[in-house]
Structure 1
C-alpha cells in the first residue's frame, strides 16, 4: 500500500511539473509576441516568389499576434497578380503592416505604390520616390495614350512633362478647327479598337483598384489616379505633403518612434500601435525564393539568355561536347522563367533572336566577321530595348556581354584564318615540299620516309640512307626529291614553307 501511494505521489508530481512547463511554454510566446515585430524585404521586382514570401510571413505574424510588420521596399514594380497577393495578405492581417521605402535613393514604383497604399502605415526615407503606376502589359511596352481621351492631355509616358502635354493639346486644337467642323462627340461616340479597349480596361481597373485602397486608408485618391493615368511620380517630401504617405523616417528606430500611439484599422477592428521598445526580428526569404528572385532580375535574365545562346552555339559547332549544351539548355529554361515574370518588349526579344541567328551563321558560313559583327550589334540593341523603362538592363552588363560575344567571334575568325593559311592536307599537293629521310637508296632511286609514310622516290643525284630530302614533285606514285640543305642559324628560326 505504501509503495502504491509513493507511485501515485511521484506520478502526480510528474504531471504537475509537466503541466507547469507547458503553461510556461504557452505563456512565454504570448508575452513576447505581443511586444515583437518582424522586418520583411521587397528588394527588386514584385514576382511570385516575393509574393509567396511576403504573404507567408504576414500571415504568420498575424497568427502569432505580433505588434507590427515592417516591409522595406525598393522595387521598380512587377506582376499585377503577385502585387494583389501581397495586398490581400495585408488587408486580411490582424497585425498592422507598415511599408517603408528605404534606404535613401530607393524607390517604390508601379506595383510598389499599390502595396504602399494598402499598408496600415506608409512611410518613406528621405531622398526616395514613388509613383509611375501605369499598367505595363507583359510582352510589350505600354501605350502612350489613354484610349478614352480625345486629346493627349493624359499621357502615360513617364518622361512627358505637364508643359509638353499641354503643348500637345494646343497643337491639336487648330487642326480640328481648320478641318470640316466635326459633329459633337455625344452624337458620334468614339469607337475603340480591340487593343485600345483592352488598354482602357486595364487602366480603368487599375484606377478603381488604387482608389479603393486610398479610400480604405484615407490617402490621396486623386493623386493615385494621376499616378496610374499619367505615370506621375513624387519625392518623399512631396508625397507627405500630398497625403500619399504618413511618415518620413530616417531609419527603422525613427519609424517606430513616429508610429507609436497611432490607431489603425486592421482586419479585426481598430488597433493602437505600441512600438516603443518593440523587439524586431528580420526574416529573410527561403533559399529557393532567393534564387528565383535573383533569376527574375533583368540583368540576370539577359545574362542567362546570353549564356544559353553561347552554350547552344558551342554544342552545335562541336556535337557531343554535352556540357555546353546542358548548361545552355538550363540557362534557357531559367531565362524563360525570368521573362515570364518580367514585363518585356517583343521587339527587343526578336532582335536578340535575330542577332543570335546571325552569330550562328557566322560560325557555320564564315564571312570574315561581317555577319557576326552585324549580329553582335543587333543583339546588343535588343538587350537595351527588351525591358521597359524602370527595368532597363545595366549598360555595364550589356557591354560585358558584347565584349565576351566579340571575343567569341574573334576566336572563330582566328580559327578560320588559321585553317586557310596552311596548304592542302591530303592528296599529292599535301606532300609537295615536305621533308623526309632516305630509307633505302640505289643509284638514282630508292625509298624515303615522308610524314611517317614510305614512298618510292628518285633524284638527280645519288643519295645515302639517312640523308634528309625535300619533295620537289609527285609523279604518280613516285616522289621526285632532292637533298635538303642544312638550315643555318637564321633558317632554323624561319617558318617553313607550307
Structure 2
C-alpha cells in the first residue's frame, strides 16, 4: 500500500518540467516571430554597384561579388546601370546571378540620358525591381547586339532563344510579356515613361532618395519563394567600387584599348625587326600584342578582321626580309585598315572601335613603315655606290649564334658572317673587320 505522499514529488517534477518546456517553447516561438518585428523598426542597408559601359566578363565578376556582399550583410543590392550592351554569354551569367540572388536586387537605369540597351535590357528585366530615371531608355535587345554574328537559320534560332528568355523573365517578374519580347524580335526601344506605361519596368525616380521613398513597403519574392518587404526610407548606402584587378581588366576589355594594344604591339615588333638589338621596342611590343589579342578574343571580335590585321603584320615583316621598295608595306597598310574596320563590324551596342582611332593608327603605322623602308633603301644605295668595303668598321648584330659562322644584321640587311676569334651569341653586337667574297669577317665589339 502506497503512502499518501508517495506521488507528490513525481507530480511536482512533472508540473515543473512541463512549465519549463512551455516557457522555452514560448521563447522560441516568440523569438522567431519577434525578430522580423524588431527588424521592421530599422531601414535596410543598400549596397550600391555601378555598371557603365559594355557588359564584359569583369562586370559579371564585379556584380557577383557585390550581390554576395549584400547577401552576407542582409542588405538590398542596388545596381546603377548605363550600358550600350555586351556579350551574350556574360549577360546570361549576370541575369542568372540576379534571378537567384538571396536578397532583393534593384536595377536603376541612370543617369538621365543613359540607357539599358541590348544586354542592359535583359539585366533590367531580370531584376526584382526595375526603375528608370527620367530621360533614360531601354530596349534594342536583338541578339546581334549581344555579340552573335551568325546568319540565316542559326541566327533565327538564336533570336527565338533570346525572345523566349526575355518572355520568361517578364513572366517571372509579372511584366508585359508582349512588349518585352518585341525588344528582342523587333529591336524596339522605350523611354522611361513608355516603359512604365507598358509595365516593362516598375516606376521612374529622379534620384535614389526618391527611389527609396517609392519602394519602401513594397514586397518582392526571392528565388526561394520567400517574400521580403523593402524598408528603404532613410536607408544607409554603401558604395562598392571595383577593385584594382577589376579596374585593370575593365580598362583592358574595351574595344578601343584592345585595338590600341594590338597596334602598339605590331609597331614595337616592327621596330625591333628592322633595327635588331634595341630590345625595348620588342619587349613592349610583345607584351602589348599578347594583351591586345587576349582582349579581342574575350570581346568576341570578328575573326575575319583579326586575320586581316595579322596578315598586315606579316606583310610588314616580309618587307624587312624581302625588300620590295614598299610594295609589301603598302599592302600591309591596306590590309590593316580593312581589318580594323571589320573587327567589330557586326557587333552593336558600343562594341566597336572608333573610326577616329582607326584613322590615327593607320596613318601612324603607314608613316612608321615608310620611315623603316626608306632607311633600308638608303642603306642599300650607299652600299651600291661605295662598294662592299664601306661595311668594314660597321657595327652589326648577331641574329644567330656565331660558332664561328652564322647570320648578322648590318645596314638594314642580313649577311653571312664568320668570327675571327672565339664565338658570339645571338643578339650580341659585333664589328665588321673584313670581307671574304659574300661573307663578312667579324669580331666582338671592342
Same fold (TM over 0.5): yes
State the partner residue of 2:366: 406
Cα-Cα RMSD:
2.9
SS of 1:245's equivalent? coil
By how many angstroms is 1:104 displaced?
2.7
| Residue of 175, 195, 198 corresponding to 1:242 | 198
Q: Post-superposition shift, 1:352?
A: 1.9
2:229 to 263, 272, 293: 272
- CA shift for structure 1 position 413: 3.9
Q: Flag the 1:140–1:222 CA change in 2: closer, same or farther, 3 A.
A: closer
**In structure 2, do the counterparts of structure 1 residues 341 and 56 end up closer, same or farther at CA, with 3 Å as the change threshold?**
same
Q: Secondary structure at the match of 1:350?
A: helix
- Per-residue CA deviation, residues 155-204 of structure 1 (Å, 9 max, x unaligned), is xxxxxxxxxxxxxxxxxxxxxxxxxxxxxxxxxxxxxxxxx2x4343222
Task: Report the equivalent of 2:155.
Answer: 199
The answer to whether 1:224 aligns with 2:180 is yes
The equivalences for 1:53-452 within 5 A come to 53-66=62-75, 68-136=76-144, 141-143=149-151, 196=153, 198-267=154-223, 269-387=226-344, 388-390=347-349, 391-419=351-379, 422=382, 424-426=385-387
Q: 1:261 to 1:360 in 2, by over 3 A?
A: same
Runs (4+) of structure 1 exceeding 6 A deviation are: 30-33, 137-140, 428-431
> Any stretches of 5+ residues in structure 2 without a counterpart?
1-38, 393-446
Contact 2:268 2:284 in 1 (8 A): yes
Moved more, 390-399 or 282-291: 390-399
Give the TM-score, by structure 2 length.
0.70
Residues of 1 paired with 2:331 and 2:298: CA distance?
A: 30
- Unmatched 5+ stretches in structure 1: 1-29, 148-195, 432-498
Provide closer, same or farther for how the CA distance between residues 333 and 70 of structure 1 changes in structure 2, counting only shifts above 3 A.
same
Residue 428 of structure 1 deviates from its aligned partner by: 7.4
Taking structure 1 as reference, are residues 429 and 360 closer, same or farther at Cα in structure 2, changes over 3 Å only?
closer
**Cα distance, 1:107–1:137 mapped onto 2, change above 3 Å:** closer
Query: Partners of 1:386 and 1:283 in 2: how far apart?
Result: 34
Report how many aligned residue pairs link the two structures: 349
Query: Does the 8 A contact of 2:273 with 2:320 survive in 1?
Result: no
1:122 offset after TM fit, Å?
A: 1.0
Is residue 139–residue 345 contact of structure 1 (8 Å, CA) maintained in 2?
no
Contact 2:52 2:82 in 1 (8 A): yes
Larger Rg: 1
Helix, strand or coil at the partner of 2:143: coil
1:240-280 deviation line (CA, Å, top 9, x unaligned): 22222222222322322332232222245222222111111
Q: Is the CA contact (8 Å cut-off) linking 1:141 and 1:344 kept in structure 2?
A: no
Note if contact 2:87-2:147 (Cα within 8 Å) is conserved in structure 1. no
Closer, same or farther: CA 32–53 of 1 in aligned 2, 3 Å:
farther
Q: 1:291 deviation in Å?
A: 1.1
